[in-house]
Structure 1
Protein backbone atom coordinates (compact mmCIF):
# COMPACT_ATOMS: atom_id res chain seq x y z
CA UNK A 1 0.00 0.00 0.00
CA UNK A 2 1.38 3.39 -1.02
CA UNK A 3 2.09 5.88 1.78
CA UNK A 4 1.66 9.67 1.60
CA UNK A 5 4.08 12.11 3.22
CA UNK A 6 3.00 15.76 3.14
CA UNK A 7 4.87 18.90 4.23
CA UNK A 8 7.48 16.95 6.21
CA UNK A 9 11.12 17.96 6.71
CA UNK A 10 13.83 15.29 6.80
CA UNK A 11 17.23 16.38 8.16
CA UNK A 12 20.54 14.49 8.13
CA UNK A 13 18.95 11.16 7.17
CA UNK A 14 21.29 8.52 5.73
CA UNK A 15 19.19 6.67 3.16
CA UNK A 16 22.18 4.50 2.23
CA UNK A 17 21.37 2.44 5.32
CA UNK A 18 17.71 2.03 4.39
CA UNK A 19 15.94 3.50 1.36
CA UNK A 20 13.14 6.01 1.85
CA UNK A 21 9.68 4.52 2.31
CA UNK A 22 7.89 3.83 -0.95
CA UNK A 23 5.12 6.31 -1.60
CA UNK A 24 4.37 9.92 -2.50
CA UNK A 25 6.25 12.84 -0.96
CA UNK A 26 4.48 16.15 -1.49
CA UNK A 27 5.77 19.51 -0.26
CA UNK A 28 8.58 17.78 1.64
CA UNK A 29 12.08 19.14 2.31
CA UNK A 30 15.19 17.00 2.47
CA UNK A 31 18.10 18.74 4.21
CA UNK A 32 21.65 17.27 4.29
CA UNK A 33 20.37 13.79 3.43
CA UNK A 34 22.43 11.05 1.80
CA UNK A 35 20.65 9.14 -0.99
CA UNK A 36 23.88 7.90 -2.60
CA UNK A 37 23.28 4.59 -4.42
CA UNK A 38 19.73 4.41 -2.98
CA UNK A 39 16.77 3.02 -4.88
CA UNK A 40 14.30 5.88 -5.45
CA UNK A 41 12.46 3.98 -8.19
CA UNK A 42 8.68 4.40 -8.36
CA UNK A 43 8.72 7.02 -5.57
CA UNK A 44 6.87 10.30 -6.25
CA UNK A 45 8.44 13.64 -5.35
CA UNK A 46 6.03 16.52 -5.95
CA UNK A 47 6.78 20.14 -4.94
CA UNK A 48 9.76 18.91 -2.90
CA UNK A 49 13.04 20.66 -2.08
CA UNK A 50 16.41 18.93 -1.74
CA UNK A 51 19.07 21.06 0.01
CA UNK A 52 22.71 19.97 0.37
CA UNK A 53 21.90 16.32 -0.39
CA UNK A 54 24.04 13.63 -1.98
CA UNK A 55 21.92 11.82 -4.56
CA UNK A 56 24.79 10.42 -6.64
CA UNK A 57 24.23 7.10 -8.41
CA UNK A 58 20.70 6.73 -7.02
CA UNK A 59 18.30 4.54 -9.02
CA UNK A 60 15.47 6.61 -10.52
CA UNK A 61 13.50 4.04 -12.54
CA UNK A 62 9.91 5.29 -12.87
CA UNK A 63 10.41 7.90 -10.12
CA UNK A 64 8.12 10.90 -10.46
CA UNK A 65 9.89 14.25 -10.24
CA UNK A 66 7.44 17.14 -10.54
CA UNK A 67 8.19 20.74 -9.53
CA UNK A 68 11.25 19.68 -7.51
CA UNK A 69 14.06 22.05 -6.50
CA UNK A 70 17.59 20.74 -6.08
CA UNK A 71 19.90 23.18 -4.27
CA UNK A 72 23.60 22.61 -3.54
CA UNK A 73 23.24 18.89 -4.27
CA UNK A 74 25.77 16.32 -5.46
CA UNK A 75 23.94 14.43 -8.21
CA UNK A 76 26.55 12.54 -10.19
CA UNK A 77 25.81 9.55 -12.40
CA UNK A 78 22.02 9.92 -12.41
CA UNK A 79 19.87 8.54 -15.24
CA UNK A 80 16.98 10.98 -15.27
CA UNK A 81 15.78 9.40 -18.53
CA UNK A 82 14.53 6.42 -16.50
CA UNK A 83 12.18 8.68 -14.49
CA UNK A 84 8.55 8.98 -15.42
CA UNK A 85 8.50 11.61 -18.16
CA UNK A 86 4.91 12.63 -17.38
CA UNK A 87 5.08 16.28 -16.23
CA UNK A 88 8.78 15.93 -15.31
CA UNK A 89 9.97 19.30 -13.99
CA UNK A 90 12.86 20.35 -11.80
CA UNK A 91 15.24 23.23 -11.18
CA UNK A 92 18.90 22.97 -10.22
CA UNK A 93 20.91 25.57 -8.28
CA UNK A 94 24.61 25.11 -7.47
CA UNK A 95 24.44 21.37 -8.14
CA UNK A 96 27.08 19.00 -9.47
CA UNK A 97 25.41 16.82 -12.11
CA UNK A 98 28.50 15.34 -13.76
CA UNK A 99 28.08 12.11 -15.75
CA UNK A 100 24.27 12.27 -15.59
CA UNK A 101 21.80 11.79 -18.43
CA UNK A 102 18.62 13.59 -19.47
CA UNK A 103 18.31 11.58 -22.71
CA UNK A 104 15.01 12.28 -24.53
CA UNK A 105 13.39 14.14 -21.62
CA UNK A 106 11.09 17.12 -22.10
CA UNK A 107 12.62 19.86 -19.93
CA UNK A 108 11.10 23.07 -21.25
CA UNK A 109 12.01 26.17 -19.25
CA UNK A 110 14.24 24.23 -16.84
CA UNK A 111 16.59 26.45 -14.84
CA UNK A 112 20.19 25.40 -14.24
CA UNK A 113 21.92 28.00 -12.06
CA UNK A 114 25.64 27.88 -11.21
CA UNK A 115 25.81 24.14 -11.92
CA UNK A 116 28.64 21.87 -12.98
CA UNK A 117 27.40 19.71 -15.86
CA UNK A 118 30.53 17.86 -17.04
CA UNK A 119 29.95 14.95 -19.45
CA UNK A 120 26.16 15.32 -19.20
CA UNK A 121 23.97 13.78 -21.91
CA UNK A 122 21.31 16.02 -23.45
CA UNK A 123 20.83 13.88 -26.58
CA UNK A 124 17.30 14.25 -28.02
CA UNK A 125 16.32 16.41 -25.01
CA UNK A 126 13.78 19.23 -25.31
CA UNK A 127 15.40 22.20 -23.57
CA UNK A 128 13.20 24.86 -25.17
CA UNK A 129 13.46 28.03 -23.09
CA UNK A 130 15.86 26.44 -20.59
CA UNK A 131 18.43 28.64 -18.88
CA UNK A 132 22.02 27.72 -18.08
CA UNK A 133 23.15 30.59 -15.84
CA UNK A 134 26.90 30.42 -15.10
CA UNK A 135 26.98 26.69 -15.87
CA UNK A 136 30.07 24.69 -16.80
CA UNK A 137 29.11 22.35 -19.68
CA UNK A 138 32.52 20.78 -20.28
CA UNK A 139 32.10 17.60 -22.33
CA UNK A 140 28.29 17.86 -22.38
CA UNK A 141 26.64 16.06 -25.29
CA UNK A 142 24.16 18.05 -27.37
CA UNK A 143 22.91 15.91 -30.26
CA UNK A 144 19.50 16.49 -31.86
CA UNK A 145 18.78 18.66 -28.83
CA UNK A 146 16.02 21.26 -28.96
CA UNK A 147 17.59 24.45 -27.61
CA UNK A 148 15.23 27.00 -29.15
CA UNK A 149 14.96 30.14 -26.98
CA UNK A 150 17.39 28.59 -24.46
CA UNK A 151 19.72 30.99 -22.65
CA UNK A 152 23.36 29.94 -22.65
CA UNK A 153 24.69 33.50 -22.60
CA UNK A 154 26.62 32.95 -19.35
CA UNK A 155 27.30 29.22 -19.81
CA UNK A 156 30.81 28.12 -20.73
CA UNK A 157 32.94 25.19 -21.96
CA UNK A 158 30.18 23.89 -24.24
CA UNK A 159 30.49 22.52 -27.75
CA UNK A 160 27.23 22.66 -29.72
CA UNK A 161 27.00 21.86 -33.41
CA UNK A 162 24.35 24.19 -34.90
CA UNK A 163 23.80 21.69 -37.75
CA UNK A 164 22.92 18.84 -35.34
CA UNK A 165 20.77 20.82 -32.87
CA UNK A 166 17.87 23.26 -33.08
CA UNK A 167 19.11 26.58 -31.72
CA UNK A 168 16.70 29.13 -33.21
CA UNK A 169 16.54 32.24 -30.99
CA UNK A 170 18.86 30.66 -28.40
CA UNK A 171 21.10 33.15 -26.59
CA UNK A 172 24.89 32.81 -26.59
CA UNK A 173 27.65 35.22 -25.62
CA UNK A 174 30.44 36.26 -27.95
CA UNK A 175 32.78 34.28 -25.69
CA UNK A 176 30.75 31.16 -26.52
CA UNK A 177 31.30 31.39 -30.29
CA UNK A 178 34.23 28.95 -30.27
CA UNK A 179 31.90 26.29 -28.84
CA UNK A 180 29.50 26.81 -31.75
CA UNK A 181 32.22 26.79 -34.40
CA UNK A 182 34.41 23.95 -33.06
CA UNK A 183 33.67 21.57 -35.95
CA UNK A 184 35.13 24.06 -38.43
CA UNK A 185 38.53 23.94 -36.72
CA UNK A 186 38.90 27.72 -36.91
CA UNK A 187 40.48 30.10 -34.43
CA UNK A 188 38.25 32.78 -32.89
CA UNK A 189 40.03 35.60 -31.02
Structure 2
Protein backbone atom coordinates (compact mmCIF):
# COMPACT_ATOMS: atom_id res chain seq x y z
CA UNK A 1 0.00 0.00 0.00
CA UNK A 2 1.28 3.46 -0.91
CA UNK A 3 2.48 5.71 1.87
CA UNK A 4 1.91 9.48 1.97
CA UNK A 5 4.33 11.87 3.63
CA UNK A 6 2.83 15.33 3.99
CA UNK A 7 4.23 18.76 4.83
CA UNK A 8 7.74 17.60 5.75
CA UNK A 9 11.06 19.28 5.05
CA UNK A 10 14.10 17.29 3.92
CA UNK A 11 17.50 19.00 4.04
CA UNK A 12 21.07 18.08 3.26
CA UNK A 13 21.74 14.40 4.06
CA UNK A 14 18.25 13.34 5.21
CA UNK A 15 17.83 10.77 2.42
CA UNK A 16 21.33 9.34 1.83
CA UNK A 17 21.13 5.62 1.03
CA UNK A 18 17.39 5.34 1.65
CA UNK A 19 15.02 3.12 -0.30
CA UNK A 20 11.83 5.00 -1.06
CA UNK A 21 9.16 2.90 -2.74
CA UNK A 22 5.52 3.68 -3.47
CA UNK A 23 5.58 6.96 -1.54
CA UNK A 24 3.71 10.18 -2.29
CA UNK A 25 5.32 13.36 -0.99
CA UNK A 26 2.50 15.89 -0.55
CA UNK A 27 3.43 19.57 -0.14
CA UNK A 28 6.93 18.73 1.12
CA UNK A 29 10.14 20.74 0.77
CA UNK A 30 13.49 19.36 -0.38
CA UNK A 31 16.37 21.79 0.11
CA UNK A 32 19.77 20.65 -1.22
CA UNK A 33 18.68 17.15 -0.21
CA UNK A 34 21.45 14.59 -0.73
CA UNK A 35 20.14 11.55 -2.60
CA UNK A 36 23.46 9.69 -2.78
CA UNK A 37 22.67 5.99 -3.26
CA UNK A 38 18.97 6.59 -2.64
CA UNK A 39 16.62 4.34 -4.58
CA UNK A 40 13.41 5.99 -5.76
CA UNK A 41 10.74 3.66 -7.11
CA UNK A 42 7.11 4.61 -7.64
CA UNK A 43 7.65 8.01 -5.99
CA UNK A 44 5.18 10.85 -6.57
CA UNK A 45 5.80 14.48 -5.67
CA UNK A 46 2.63 16.60 -5.46
CA UNK A 47 2.78 20.32 -4.75
CA UNK A 48 6.36 20.02 -3.49
CA UNK A 49 9.20 22.52 -3.61
CA UNK A 50 12.61 21.11 -4.57
CA UNK A 51 15.65 23.40 -4.54
CA UNK A 52 19.17 22.32 -5.55
CA UNK A 53 18.40 18.59 -5.54
CA UNK A 54 20.90 16.51 -7.54
CA UNK A 55 19.01 13.45 -8.76
CA UNK A 56 22.15 12.14 -10.55
CA UNK A 57 23.30 10.61 -7.28
CA UNK A 58 20.30 8.26 -7.08
CA UNK A 59 21.00 4.59 -7.47
CA UNK A 60 19.80 3.53 -10.92
CA UNK A 61 17.93 0.25 -11.35
CA UNK A 62 17.93 0.80 -14.49
CA UNK A 63 15.99 4.02 -14.18
CA UNK A 64 14.55 6.25 -11.52
CA UNK A 65 10.75 6.05 -11.23
CA UNK A 66 9.31 9.43 -10.21
CA UNK A 67 6.34 11.64 -11.03
CA UNK A 68 6.02 15.37 -10.36
CA UNK A 69 2.70 17.23 -10.30
CA UNK A 70 2.29 20.94 -9.51
CA UNK A 71 5.83 21.16 -8.12
CA UNK A 72 8.25 24.08 -8.00
CA UNK A 73 11.76 22.91 -8.84
CA UNK A 74 14.77 25.19 -8.93
CA UNK A 75 18.37 24.29 -9.77
CA UNK A 76 17.73 20.53 -9.82
CA UNK A 77 19.95 18.23 -11.88
CA UNK A 78 18.58 15.20 -13.77
CA UNK A 79 21.63 14.56 -15.97
CA UNK A 80 22.72 11.07 -17.06
CA UNK A 81 19.47 9.45 -15.88
CA UNK A 82 16.94 7.25 -17.63
CA UNK A 83 13.60 8.96 -17.05
CA UNK A 84 11.49 7.30 -19.73
CA UNK A 85 7.77 8.08 -19.46
CA UNK A 86 8.24 10.20 -16.33
CA UNK A 87 5.80 13.02 -15.60
CA UNK A 88 6.65 16.66 -14.89
CA UNK A 89 3.09 17.99 -15.23
CA UNK A 90 1.96 21.52 -14.38
CA UNK A 91 5.31 22.22 -12.74
CA UNK A 92 7.61 25.22 -12.55
CA UNK A 93 11.13 23.99 -13.45
CA UNK A 94 13.60 26.87 -13.23
CA UNK A 95 17.31 26.54 -13.99
CA UNK A 96 17.12 22.74 -13.98
CA UNK A 97 19.60 20.63 -15.96
CA UNK A 98 18.96 17.67 -18.24
CA UNK A 99 22.18 16.53 -19.96
CA UNK A 100 22.39 13.08 -21.62
CA UNK A 101 19.03 12.27 -20.03
CA UNK A 102 16.74 9.71 -21.62
CA UNK A 103 13.35 11.43 -21.52
CA UNK A 104 11.64 9.34 -24.19
CA UNK A 105 7.89 9.56 -23.60
CA UNK A 106 8.27 12.04 -20.72
CA UNK A 107 5.39 14.44 -20.08
CA UNK A 108 6.24 18.13 -19.53
CA UNK A 109 2.74 19.38 -20.38
CA UNK A 110 1.65 22.67 -18.81
CA UNK A 111 5.14 23.17 -17.35
CA UNK A 112 7.21 26.38 -17.20
CA UNK A 113 10.80 25.55 -18.16
CA UNK A 114 12.45 28.95 -17.65
CA UNK A 115 16.25 28.69 -18.00
CA UNK A 116 16.10 24.89 -17.96
CA UNK A 117 18.75 23.23 -20.13
CA UNK A 118 18.27 20.19 -22.34
CA UNK A 119 21.46 18.93 -24.03
CA UNK A 120 22.11 15.57 -25.71
CA UNK A 121 18.76 14.30 -24.43
CA UNK A 122 16.45 11.75 -26.01
CA UNK A 123 13.12 13.57 -26.27
CA UNK A 124 11.48 10.99 -28.53
CA UNK A 125 7.69 11.12 -28.05
CA UNK A 126 8.08 13.55 -25.14
CA UNK A 127 5.10 15.84 -24.58
CA UNK A 128 5.73 19.59 -24.28
CA UNK A 129 2.15 20.56 -25.13
CA UNK A 130 1.15 23.74 -23.33
CA UNK A 131 4.67 23.94 -21.86
CA UNK A 132 6.34 27.34 -22.02
CA UNK A 133 9.69 29.12 -21.81
CA UNK A 134 11.67 26.13 -23.05
CA UNK A 135 14.93 26.50 -24.95
CA UNK A 136 15.51 23.20 -26.73
CA UNK A 137 18.11 22.98 -29.49
CA UNK A 138 16.73 20.55 -32.11
CA UNK A 139 20.30 19.87 -33.29
CA UNK A 140 21.58 19.08 -29.79
CA UNK A 141 18.79 16.70 -28.76
CA UNK A 142 16.90 13.79 -30.30
CA UNK A 143 13.42 14.89 -31.33
CA UNK A 144 11.11 12.36 -32.97
CA UNK A 145 7.34 12.64 -32.69
CA UNK A 146 7.94 15.09 -29.84
CA UNK A 147 4.82 17.16 -29.10
CA UNK A 148 4.91 20.96 -28.93
CA UNK A 149 2.18 23.61 -28.97
CA UNK A 150 1.95 26.73 -31.09
CA UNK A 151 3.03 29.49 -30.53
CA UNK A 152 5.66 28.22 -28.06
CA UNK A 153 7.10 25.81 -30.65
CA UNK A 154 8.48 28.86 -32.49
CA UNK A 155 11.22 28.92 -29.80
CA UNK A 156 12.69 25.79 -31.44
CA UNK A 157 13.90 28.05 -34.26
CA UNK A 158 16.06 30.28 -32.01
CA UNK A 159 19.29 28.48 -32.85
CA UNK A 160 18.91 29.02 -36.58
CA UNK A 161 19.94 32.16 -38.45
CA UNK A 162 16.50 32.82 -39.90
CA UNK A 163 13.92 35.58 -39.92
CA UNK A 164 10.26 34.78 -39.33
CA UNK A 165 7.78 36.94 -41.20
CA UNK A 166 4.08 37.28 -40.49
Please identify which structure carries the higher strand content: 2
* Gaps in structure 2 of 5+ consecutive residues: none
Contact 1:178 1:187 (C-alpha < 8 Å) held by counterparts? no
Greater than 3 Å deviation, 4+ residue runs: 185-189
1:58 to 8, 11, 33: 33
- Do 1:158 and 1:179's aligned partners in 2 also have CA atoms closer than 8 Å? yes
- Separation (CA, whole Å) in 2 of partners of 1:149 and 1:84: 25
* 1:156 aligned residue: 132
C-alpha RMSD of matched pairs (Å): 1.4
> Structure 2 length as normaliser, TM-score?
0.93
Pairing 1:29-68 to 2, within 5 Å after superposition: 29-68=4-43
**Aligned positions, number:** 164
What are the ranges of 5 or more consecutive residues in structure 1 without an aligned counterpart? 1-6, 8-26
Aligned to 1:180: 156
1:130 maps to 2:106? yes
The alpha carbon displacement at 1:109 in A equals 0.5
The answer to whether structure 1 residue 90 and structure 2 residue 66 are counterparts is yes
Higher relative contact order (CA 8 A, sep 6+): 2
- Cα distance in 1 between the residues matched to 2:151 and 2:123: 18
Instruction: Kindly indicate whether the alpha-carbon contact (under 8 Å) linking 2:76 and 2:96 is maintained by their aligned counterparts in 1.
Output: yes
Q: Deviations over 1:43-84 (max 9, x none)?
A: 000000100001121110010000100000011110001001
The residue number in structure 1 matching 2:96 is 120
